[in-house]
Structure 1
Amino acid sequence: METVPTPVGNARVTWYRARRPRAVVALGHGAGGGVEARDLQALAAALPSHGWTVALVEQPWRVAGRKLAPAPKTLDTAWTALWPALVRPGLPVVAGGRSAGARVACRTAAELGAVAVLALSFPLHPPGKPEKSRKDELFGAALKGVHLLVVQGGRDPFGRPEEFPEGYEPVGVPFGDHGFAVPKSADLTQEAALSVITDAVLGWLEELPPLRE
């Protein structure tokens, strides 16, 4: 665990290191929780054995024990300031996160030199307000040449897979809500739902162009 000073307070990075890493996959949390989120923990457990070091990043507001996330600009300021701590000699960085963390990664990826973006539960719109789309924010990174993967719950009120723009299909997690929780009545266990996520991310990472810093 590493504490990283930023202009808006101390951030915290928890490392899950691969023995022979090919890249660092840096993941931020959402506005309603921390790095204990089930999808972040599943990726931290699964990726290192395949050669991908995972860095779970806690924003300063969370480290300080506050319950409400600050404005997007403040989140971006912290992420940008802590970015150098994520860079290891010779290793590229894949930026990502869930929900608000995914938004931060998309907004800053091109500027920071991320080689790809992993967006988990991207909040495409506020619940019940599809007209307030954030698709431009989501695809800003991709339009600047940054590779993008979105993984979305099948019943996510912030945007189901079929709501994303034509020509782009996120990886869907059947029955998953915004936190990728699946009901006990679903034809899919919680463990299987998390496997959908980890398998999709591992497959995507393997298919990325040769990664160089």
Structure 2
Amino acid sequence: MTDRRTLVETPAGPAAISWHRAAEPRLVLALGHGAGGGVEAPDLAALAAALPAGGVSVALVEQPWRVAGKKLAPAPKTLDAGWLPVVGALAAEGLPLVVGGRSAGARVACRTGAAGGAAAVLALAFPLHPPGRPERSRAAELLGSGLPTLVVQGEQDTFGTPAEFPPLPAGHRLVPVPAAGHGFKVPKSAPLTQQAALGLVTAAVADWLAGLG
């Protein structure tokens, strides 16, 4: 069941939550978007459509800068300030909370997950480094999440392929998506269809969430 979009006040301005609720929820998954798009991203939409049937209520979170109609994402400190009050509102549901997002949203979740009281972190298309700049690694954010963390990464992601990731600590897991880029888009020549690629993403996340104790 999809609820109406609701606003949450934050120090960075109002953020927005679009709920996709499970009939009998056992946990809440909060998902933030990237710096180049919103919650309509195909992977976020696919998870919001698929997971409620398994008892996972999905909250798609629009950062204040998107709600305000701006085109450029602010600095990480401002992104974190626009996220944590939303996490607090979601925790009021009284269910275990998993935080995550795609790209920049994954970074926010990794930086703030433990402080926000989350049980785990989901990192979709984690931007390990800017394209072509592997020396500017953001691995410390991922490795330092301090929580069980699932990374789902396209094998052709220009922001970091699965092979570029450092050894992950206990509790972290990385699932590659064959032939997929940063938005999990696959070329027509790929050995799997676009629908199949998104299906791999949703299946990996559903299996991981089912195993969280």
1:152 aligns with 2:156: no
- What corresponds to 2:51 in structure 1? 47
CA offsets, 1:88-111, max 9 Å, x none?
443011000000000000000111
CA offsets, 1:45-96, max 9 Å, x none?
0000000000000001001110000000000001012222212443011000
Identity fraction in percent? 64
- What corresponds to 2:63 in structure 1? 59
- What corresponds to 1:3 in structure 2? 7
1:121 aligns with 2:122: no
1:35 to 10, 14, 39: 39
- What corresponds to 1:18 in structure 2? 22
Q: Which moved more, 1:8-17 or 1:168-177?
A: 168-177
Alignment of 1:1-213 (within 5 A): 1-141=5-145, 144=146, 146-167=147-168, 170-209=174-213
| Residue type at the aligned position of 1:98 | R
Task: Please state whether the residue corresponding to 1:74 is helix, strand or coil.
Answer: helix
CA distance in 2, matches of 1:61, 1:17: 25
Task: Please state whether the residue corresponding to 1:55 is helix, strand or coil.
Answer: strand
Structure 1 gaps of 5+ residues are none
Structure 2 gaps of 5+ residues are none
CA distance in 2, matches of 1:105, 1:95: 6
Task: Please state whether the residue corresponding to 1:47 is helix, strand or coil.
Answer: helix
CA distance in 1, matches of 2:185, 2:23: 31
In structure 2, the CA distance between the partners of 1:89 and 1:12, relative to structure 1 (3 Å rule), is closer
The 4+ residue runs of structure 1 with deviation greater than 2 A are 166-169
Task: Please state whether the residue corresponding to 2:115 is helix, strand or coil.
Answer: helix
Question: Do the aligned residues in 1 keep the contact of 2:88 with 2:116 (CA within 8 Å)?
Answer: no
In structure 2, the CA distance between the partners of 1:5 and 1:89, relative to structure 1 (3 Å rule), is closer
Task: Please state whether the residue corresponding to 1:170 is helix, strand or coil.
Answer: strand
Question: Do the aligned residues in 2 keep the contact of 1:161 with 1:169 (CA within 8 Å)?
Answer: no
Aligned residue pair count: 206
CA distance in 1, matches of 2:24, 2:108: 28
Q: TM-score, normalised by structure 2?
A: 0.94
Task: Please state whether the residue corresponding to 2:127 is helix, strand or coil.
Answer: coil
